[in-house]
Amino acid sequence: MTDRELMTIAKRAAMNSYSPYSHFPVGAAIECTDGTVYTGCNVENAALGSTLCAERIACAKAVSEGHQQFTRLAIYADSQNWCTPCGACRQFLAEFNPELEVLCARAGDRYVSYRLSDLMPNRFEF
Ligand code: THU
């Protein structure tokens, strides 16, 4: 699958976003080493801190289905800035692959590629 195809899946996932508070739909698509792809979208809550990000939902869906090895993650938002994962998601994702390739989109369907270890150096471990 190409980067562009993975990003298209993430973009489609953003359509399921539940984001009545921020009005900022986000979609994510995480690719497992066997090629399986799991999607996620942000799911907000009136208790704002209970909101779940698209990336963590995609990753948790994959793990709950028995996948723990990931190669790429695409994140889509129709935003001004590159939609990079928040700090909590960086830590969460680095648990499984600190070298994950992270594709971050912004409006216009352009995207940039980051190595997770560049976005999240010195992640917490014990
Ligand atoms: N959000 C994500 O789902 N992923 C990100 O990478 C950044 C932020 C969500 C959380 C919240 O629902 C909305 O975007 C605004 O912060």
What pLDDT sits at residue 56?
A: 98
Residue 108 pLDDT > 90: no
Mean pLDDT across the stretch 42-59?
A: 98
Tokens read off for 4: 């562009």
Q: Which residues line ligand 1 (CB under 6 A)?
A: 19, 22, 24, 26, 42, 44, 51, 53-55, 75, 83, 85-86, 89
pTM: 0.97
Which residues touch 118 (CB under 8 Å, ≥6 apart)?
none
Separation of CA 42 and ligand 1 centre (Å): 6
User: What is the arithmetic mean of pLDDT over 54-64?
Assistant: 98
Instruction: Give yes or no for residue 101 having a pLDDT over 90.
Output: yes
Confidence band of 109 (pLDDT split at 50, 70, 90): confident
User: Which 3-state string (H, E, C) describes 27-82?
Assistant: EEEEEECCCCEEEEECECCCCHHHCECHHHHHHHHHHHCCCCCEEEEEEECCCCCC
Closest ligand 1 atom to residue 17 Cα is 12
Whole-number pLDDT of residue 24: 98
